Chains A and B, each alone.
Chain A
Amino acid sequence: MSVELDVFVVNTTIMDEEVYQLWLDGYTGLGHNINQLTHIDILDTVIHQSYESCYLSAPSSVNDAVKVRMEGGVLEGCEASAEVLHSDTMDQYRTFQMCERLLHSPVKLANQLLFQIPPHRQVMLIERYYAFDSVFVREVLGKKLSKGTKKDLDDVSAKTGVTLKSCRRQFDNFKRVFKVVEELKGPLVENIRQHFLLSDKLARDYAAIVFFANNRFETGKKKLHYLTFQDFAFCAGQLISNWTVGALDNMVEDMDVDLEKEFLQDLKELKILITDRDLLDQHKSLVCTALRGKTKAFNEMEANFKNLSRGLVNIAAKLTNTKEVRDFFIDLVEKFIEPCRSDKWTAGDMRLYLTHYTNSAHVLDTFKHQVVWDRYMGVIKSCILKMYHD
């Protein structure tokens, strides 16, 4: 006797969060049985086709999810067999599968009629669907969200231990969010929040991912490996809220995925801080006066001042060049963070130094670019402080 067909449909769709997580994590409990359903709508067809191949490629893991659930002790206290568990897993997987299309445009989930899902469950479904593994995102951060990158996902999967299915979901999420907000005006985070109904935290993370992908910041170099996604997300937040067009005027036509061109041009003016010898010396003495006696690393600071200052100002001056923008973080690390680290500055030292470095520039008589300087250094300071760790 074999079960040929087995379905269980409820009026109020309530998913088991544990099974949902297994599904999201790519435990393909369905084997070849389930492909994408194509009748709800035909949007995102391209993306689905790749999913399909994924399902077809993993018929061997039919019972993975069931196994995990059994090991999780779900059967304890229930007089149920593995068979029952399998049937339950299949039912839920099918439901997720059917919901997936709706999750691609979460606004639809709220006013679609196919599934009656309580609002708080909708929130959970969306939030978890768009959640990502930080190990995974770290791998693709700043990469172009293209087909080429997607093809390399199996390497990423092997490297991170995240299943290929899950990698693809996460990648597609990034890409989907990117495509939608690319065309939109207004603040990035708010756009993401409204179109994908994500929590503030998650929306900010996506904003960072979109921002990084758009500007193609280099994050994969070995020297940057010590940085976490959250470090980058923080920096992205700083850049978005201070260096983009939208940063000054929210209602401006453009959106804040791109850095403000004018500002980048203005940054060139800062070069005077290192090219004008007097100004450089003056700046150095002001900073040293303020720092003297306040830190153990004073000698190193004094000795390195000119090098460090040149580093920061050069980064600023080069930002008009798109290629140099990509190297923004690597430059920060190479030109500033690494020298400081080798001099064993503490985080406190760093804060102290940057504060005085920034503020002293205001006192310089011949330095006229105070506004641009503040706008630049404000972001640089918080980024470096965030990035300055082991």
Chain B
Amino acid sequence: MPGKLKAKIVAGRHLPVMDRASDLTDAFVEVKFGNTTFKTDVYPKSLNPQWNSEWFKFEVDDEDLQDEPLQITVLDHDTYSANDAIGKVYIDIDPLLSSEAATVISGWFPIYDTIHGIRGEINVLVKVDLFNDLNRFRQSSCGVKFFCTTSIPRCYRAALVHGFVEELVVNEDPEYQWIDRIRTPRASNEARQRLISLMSGELQRKIGLKVLEMGGNAVVGYLQCFDLEGESGLVVRAIGTACTLDKLIPGSASNTNTHPNTAPASNACNSPSKEIKEPVFSEDPTHPLSVPPTPLRTLPSSSSPPPFSPSKLCSRQSSSSDTDLSLTPKMGMGSGISVGKEAGPLKTLLRQQAQSALEQREFPFFTLTCFPPGFLVHIGGVVSARSVKLLDRIHNPALGNTRSYKLLDWNSVAADEPETRDAWWEEIRQEIKSHAKALGCHAVVGYSESTTIWYITHTILRPTSISSEEVCILSASGTAAMLNPRFMREGCLDAGGSDQRLSRQPPLGMVGSERAEGEVSSSWLGFDDASPPSCGFCHIPYDEFNMPFPAQLTYCYHCRRQKVPDVLFTTIDLPAEAAVTGKGCLIQARLCRTKKKAQGEVNATAISNLLPFMEYELHTQLMNKLKLRCMNALFGLRIQISVGENMLLGLASATGVYLSALPAPGGIQIAGKTPSDLSYDQHISTMQKRINDTIAMNKELYNIHPPECIEEVVGSPIPDRQRSRLFRSTSESSDELSELDLSHGKKDAFVLEIDDTDAVEDIQSLLTDAPMPAGFYSCNTEVMPGIYNWTSGLQMFTSVRVYRLNNANLTNQGLNKIFTDLCENLLKSLYFKLRSMIPCCLCHLNFTVAVPEEELIQVAVTAVAMSFDKETQLAADKALNKGSGENEEQLQFSMELCGESTSSNNQPTAKPSGLPESAMTHSSSRASSSERCSPLPEVRSRSLRSTRSLPCGAPVTVVKMTPLSFLPRTRIVKYLGIINMFFIRETTSLREEGGVSGFLHSFIAEVFAMVRAHVAALGGNAVVSYSMKECVFMENPNKNQAQCLINVSGDAVIFVRESDQEAIPPLITCGQTSTTGADGTT
């Protein structure tokens, strides 16, 4: 069905001088959509032309509306020679296709040129008249809403969560076409930008279709990525979570999920879908390590590391796959939970009888990281899978016209074309699923996928030929979980009675075991009232007699009824209802491993051999650092492994917290092997002291004062592992060590053995993590646990650094040190630059590392600094401490036992006994220093806002940007659509543009500007869930050239300030501008 797209070119301003003789420009505009082009008149001799054109009308299919961007080209008219292009604007009109998003696009857009950057601005008006679409067999999916936000968007309610949707399209990269040898860099860049815009439009449309098939109306947690695979092509892929969202009427409470009474029945085993599932499941590769025959040289991608699970101590590659095997049958029969989500769309399935849809449900994955209360029942732990692939040319037909590129659809994968990216991803997803099953979970939440590609000839800009010997690591990770299937079944939210139909069949195996414990029976599934929401998700989902990995279980410290593990790792955000002690902090594990230079299969093999070790070491580091901070859980875990020519980089970031429900972490103990040596002993004891001091200091820093409780190590099937041990991967002396009794009080302790130099290095690196400066907190999740009173002051930033390793012959240790320093220095630099925000928290601090060429390491980070109110924070801390203390059933008991610690609970600022002196001076210097070192007091003292208005027309709308899904002290009233932009910038005058830093600095600033302009044109005043998903930088200083590709995405929104809060005007004058923005759309 057609729609009518209308565009009007109003005016331009600040245009560049194109005619040197007159210092003026004769500008006109071409407006292109699909194959139709309109032109405005030439506006002679002006840098601020007023075209005020007619409405250009395009009558097009809505399919095209979704795929194509509106392309606006500003040119300088030249009578004698060819017209010079000034620049272009691409406008994604998708937001206009949904009735609930924007209705008009109107505003100033920066005119962008891939060689010169922003060159002036153009004012454009765009509207769409869409005719009602009644076609059943339509190819478009207009109206499906997309959200980058990985939680249910703030002004919606999730009626239904359908599940995982994915899609991928492949094309030849224009940069590597033969024609690129003869065309200008500008033409090549523009071809690429346009192609990617087209591909992402198409991808979005296809995903939308899948969502409609499933009966949903929105995709939440939409994650789109580009894989620039060089000559092998260009892959655009996306994953997301299909949902049915209902718009909330402002004011009405959003109690989407309080049906505790209907809940118990809802975990039905839903046998029908199980039938569907069983056969599929049996097709699982019996050994994850063996990969289906690969005609196209896929490696036996050994890279299926074990489930990255809590307390996994010595599990190896093989052990994980064994576990999978042994657990699979059990889970199928015993838990039967895994199929909860298939029940919902069952009707849809039957209706459509489409094999494809069925296969899709194959993956009970959710890209969400934040859930409505009650959705998440239990968390098993992190599951991840990696696979190393050799890239080969994607078999594509030649690019004739724009629509000829071939879509390698999931469903259309023919038997004769097995080696597609789809197949690769399916393999990975299957692996993830089996890992989740091993953890007794039926779903994976916080799921994400990523790739790392390494090109051999990366350093040369515009290579005329590129070797196809490219290696690609596909990674996927998520958190195994059990979900409340209520959210996945139609109608049950509104009519709880329908749940009764499918009465729950008790999972036999489980019930038996639980009864034997004489405890908690019904609460196994966590749906009943008995399991408090603040700890329910911590309870183990797996069978404690058949634990997938050795772990130490205790009864939950919160409800005392269920078992909890001693440590919990997850990729999701901390659930809002979770009970947390103290504050959290960013924990990073960094690792560098050398690799021999190699090519092709040899290279891929080398990489895949290294991967499991890297994962193991990263895990070890994380665990140590977690203990050092006296915390017991990680959220938002993100592990990235990058490949370089001669090294591998691993970076794991997560936010550590102390979950009140989990046992207190033990300290870290150092054990030496030769106790006879006196000096050696002394060395060890100083080390031990330093560690103990650090732990004590961290406790104070993060305000962690857990109530002391008696250890209750409940009957764990693993024989009395009072002490978990941490071994180096090289250490093989586990038997011998287990005889060492290292008990230190009643606390569990991690033992670090310093029998080899590696371990010494480890400890050193543990202790060299510089503490955060006073007034700063940091996390990589949405918000910092333990901080509640945000002010509206926030500052989003992007920082990119490239380091050159000058010394080529480095050892692993040397590299590690360099890499660690590099990350630490970047953090330090951030703290310094943002010192005017103190007290503040750096949220969503996710690093992206890459090895763009030999001896280069690139680190990029986009995060937000949010300031909070120190006074009320202190009060809140106190109240919280007091509160949690009073709620604690064991209060009296602990008071008797250790009055000291309780007293320090209530007065977090008081000096606790035994605290090292250094910590005290540290905290006491805080207040003064925070006042002193803020040269930009305006950031917070908003009263300074100048009343002097600038007499120059309409002010530019202030657009806030944040990687988080919300803006503190505001309410999002409308989502205007997804922002998904891809830009290329290139220069042949690198030195003149200020070198690489100057070049990238202005490019990033330009990208920000273009994002803001698009949001403002949609009528919005903020971008939430903003992320820079790609930043590929290449330089060739000898040729004075550089090129950079950036891909960003986010959700354009309108927010209003919370009026009922204390009136603190936001940082900038967003008041009046935001209302004007809103007026434009309503």
Scan residues 65-123 of chain A and give those whose CB is less than 8 A from a CB of chain B: 74, 76-81, 83-85, 87-88, 90-91, 94-95, 97-98, 107-108, 110-116, 118-123
B948 adjacent to A123 (CB under 8 Å) = yes
Contact with B along A34-65 (1 / 0, CB 8 A): 11111111110000000000000000000000
A91 to B799, CA, bound (A): 10
Partner of B119, one of A39, A98, A108: A39
A39 to B14, CA, bound (A): 12
B828 adjacent to A81 (CB under 8 Å) = yes
Given A11-B960, A80-B832: A119 in contact with B946 (beta carbons within 8 A): yes
B944 within 8 A of A: yes
Tell me how many residue pairs across A and B have CB atoms closer than 8 Å: 236
B796 adjacent to A1 (CB under 8 Å) = no
Q: Looking across the interface, which residue of chain B has its beta carbon closest to that of A34? A: B994
Chain A residues with CB under 8 Å of B832's CB are: 78, 80, 84-85, 88
Chain B residues with CB under 8 Å of A112's CB are: 14, 121, 956
Chain A residues with CB under 8 Å of B933's CB are: 74, 76-78
Contact with B along A325-369 (1 / 0, CB 8 A): 000000000000000000000000000000000000000000000
B1005 adjacent to A5 (CB under 8 Å) = no
A278 within 8 A of B: no
Scan residues 115-149 of chain A and give those whose CB is less than 8 A from a CB of chain B: 115-116, 118-123
Given A98-B1005, A110-B950, A113-B1012: A83 in contact with B994 (beta carbons within 8 A): no
A152 within 8 A of B: no
- Interface residues on chain B, size class: 35 or more
B994 adjacent to A110 (CB under 8 Å) = no
B108 adjacent to A84 (CB under 8 Å) = no
B935 adjacent to A18 (CB under 8 Å) = yes
A202 to B989, CA, bound (A): 38
Chain B residues with CB under 8 Å of A108's CB are: 14
Chain B residues with CB under 8 Å of A4's CB are: 802-804, 856, 996
B955 within 8 A of A: yes
A9 to B997, CA, bound (A): 11
A197 adjacent to B950 (CB under 8 Å) = yes
Given A11-B961, A83-B825: A120 in contact with B944 (beta carbons within 8 A): yes
Contact with A along B174-190 (1 / 0, CB 8 A): 00000000000000000
Partner of B800, one of A5, A34, A110: A5
B951 adjacent to A197 (CB under 8 Å) = yes
A267 to B23, CA, bound (A): 43
> How many residues belonging to A are interface residues under a CB distance threshold of 8 Å?
62
Of B110-118, B442-450, B535-543, the segment with at least 4 beta carbons within 8 Å of chain A is B110-118
Interface on chain A toward B: helix, strand, loop, or mixed SS? mixed
Given A76-B933, A118-B1068: A8 in contact with B797 (beta carbons within 8 A): yes
Of B162-170, B510-518, B901-909, B924-932, the segment with at least 4 beta carbons within 8 Å of chain A is B924-932
B953 adjacent to A10 (CB under 8 Å) = no
A235 to B155, CA, bound (A): 64
Partner of A123, one of B118, B773, B946: B946
A111 adjacent to B13 (CB under 8 Å) = yes
Q: Looking across the interface, which residue of chain B has its beta carbon closest to that of A55? A: B994
B954 adjacent to A111 (CB under 8 Å) = yes
Chain A residues with CB under 8 Å of B949's CB are: 119
Chain A residues with CB under 8 Å of B925's CB are: 77
Chain A residues with CB under 8 Å of B946's CB are: 119-120, 123
A107 adjacent to B952 (CB under 8 Å) = yes
Given A2-B804, A7-B800: A16 in contact with B1002 (beta carbons within 8 A): no
B804 adjacent to A120 (CB under 8 Å) = no
A33 within 8 A of B: yes
Chain A residues with CB under 8 Å of B108's CB are: 111, 113
User: Which of B949, B952, B955 is most buried by chain A, counting CB atoms within 10 A of its CB?
Assistant: B952
8 A-B pairs besides A37-B998, A113-B121, A122-B950 with CB distance below 8 A are A2-B806, A5-B997, A16-B936, A39-B1002, A40-B117, A97-B994, A116-B958, A119-B945
Q: Which residues of B contact A (CB under 8 A)?
A: 13-17, 23, 108, 110, 116-121, 770-771, 773-774, 795-807, 818, 821-822, 825, 828-833, 835-836, 856, 858, 925, 928-930, 932-933, 935-936, 938-939, 944-946, 948-956, 958-961, 989, 991-998, 1000-1002, 1004-1006, 1008-1009, 1012-1013, 1033, 1067-1069
Which are the 4 A-B pairs with shortest beta-carbon distances? A77-B929, A120-B946, A5-B802, A39-B117
Q: Identify 23 residue pairs between A and B in the complex whose beta-carbon atoms are under 8 Å apart, listed by A's number.
A: A1-B805, A3-B804, A4-B803, A5-B858, A7-B1001, A8-B830, A14-B795, A35-B991, A40-B118, A41-B119, A43-B23, A76-B932, A80-B832, A85-B832, A98-B1001, A113-B108, A113-B121, A118-B1067, A118-B1069, A119-B945, A119-B950, A119-B1068, A120-B938
Q: Which residues of A contact B (CB under 8 A)?
A: 1-12, 14, 16-18, 33-43, 74, 76-81, 83-85, 87-88, 90-91, 94-95, 97-98, 107-108, 110-116, 118-123, 194, 197
